A = this chain, B = another copy of it.
Amino acid sequence: MRNFNEDTITDAVLERLQGATNARIREISEALVRHLHAFVREVRPTQKEWEYGIDFLTRTGQMCDDKRQEFILLSDTLGVSMLVDAINVSSVPGATESTVLGPFFVQDAPEGKLGEDISNGVEGDPLFVTGSVSTVDGLPLAGASVDVWHSDDDGNYDVQQLGEIGGLAMRARFRTDASGRFNFWSIKPAAYPIPHDGPVGEMLKAQGRHPWRPAHVHFMISAPGFEQLVTHIFVAGDQYLDSDVVFGVKDDLVREFVLRNPSDEGDGRATNRKYYYLNHNFGLKRAAKSSQSLESTKVSRVPGAQT
């Protein structure tokens, strides 16, 4: 095989892939070559533009370390992460919608006791969260595992400031009680820009886009026999709900964080200031046999992108 030109090189590369013994690898490789070549054939890059592309991808890889995952940011900001989510998670009546996992999930978050304050001393407006986990038919699920994690009121996660705050905070893993309920105290999260001092920030700027995500609390909920749910609850009224830089907002995931007067133990704790109140019920789908748990995958290998 020689003498390839613009019209023949794609078939030549595809032919070269026929030696792949794993059918799935061959399928993915073939699709990659066809779509990548179609992209190049459409935009007709100059040599200089090709070099810029090589350099951009190289810098994206080299920006990654144990605190930062720039390729996840690139996937998130190009809408690929939400597309992969949409492909893998079907919409079912009564089941809570999913959204991006983000990179700040921690495998072994501290076990939380129902009703306790997980802010771990980080300052902010008090927030009380209560909710339930049920089947899509509304039957409560007792003993379900509920991981929660969120940013502080500057938009930073605990793992971005471990040195300053001295440990994990604003995260815990709860178990629902006999009636499928859970509740905890924390602080209200804020909107924040994804890290934009690297190649992805350079791309967003060139594309005329802002880097902001609306304020949200992450939830990952599991119960035996049900599909794991990975989602957020967004704060209603946030100015970035319609322009989330990673395209993660769904209306069913936007909830009022209601400002309440000081509590006289009404939510399990006396407060002398106003606090925010969130109440949400999560519906889980029954697992198909081939259902895959995100917890069993290597999510901890790609930490760092603020999503």
Contact = CB atoms under 8 A, between A and B. Distances in A.
Contacts of A41: 83, 87
Total copies of the chain: 2
Contact of A54 (B42, B46, B75, B207): B75
Interface residues of A, number: 87
A10 B302 CA distance: 25
A209 B43 CA distance: 28
B206 A2 contact: no
Interface in A40-69: 40-51, 54-55, 57-62, 64, 69
Interface in A1-57: 1-6, 9-10, 12-13, 16-22, 25-29, 31-33, 35-51, 54-55, 57
Interface stretch (A120-128, A162-170, A245-253, A272-280): A245-253
A289 interface: no
B49 A9 contact: no
B83 A51 contact: no
Interface string A246-275: 010111001000000000000000000000
Contact of A20 (B25, B27, B61, B206): B206
A208 B21 CA distance: 7
B37 A36 contact: no
B302 A79 contact: no
A236 interface: no
Contact of A31 (B39, B82, B298): B39
A79 to B, nearest CB: 4
A39 to B, nearest CB: 4
Contacts of A136: none
A47 B292 contact: yes
B297 A78 contact: no
A19 B48 CA distance: 24
A301 B9 contact: no
Given A42-B31, A79-B9, A207-B20, A72 B47 contact: no
Contacts of A42: 31, 35
A46 B45 CA distance: 31
30 contacts: A1-B242, A1-B247, A3-B251, A4-B247, A9-B83, A9-B86, A10-B79, A16-B243, A19-B207, A19-B209, A21-B208, A22-B206, A29-B203, A33-B78, A35-B42, A37-B80, A44-B87, A48-B298, A51-B299, A51-B302, A54-B69, A54-B72, A55-B302, A57-B57, A57-B60, A58-B61, A58-B64, A59-B61, A61-B62, A61-B64
Given A3-B249, A19-B209, A29-B206, 13 more contacts: A2-B249, A17-B208, A17-B209, A19-B208, A20-B206, A20-B207, A28-B43, A31-B43, A51-B299, A54-B69, A55-B298, A55-B301, A61-B71
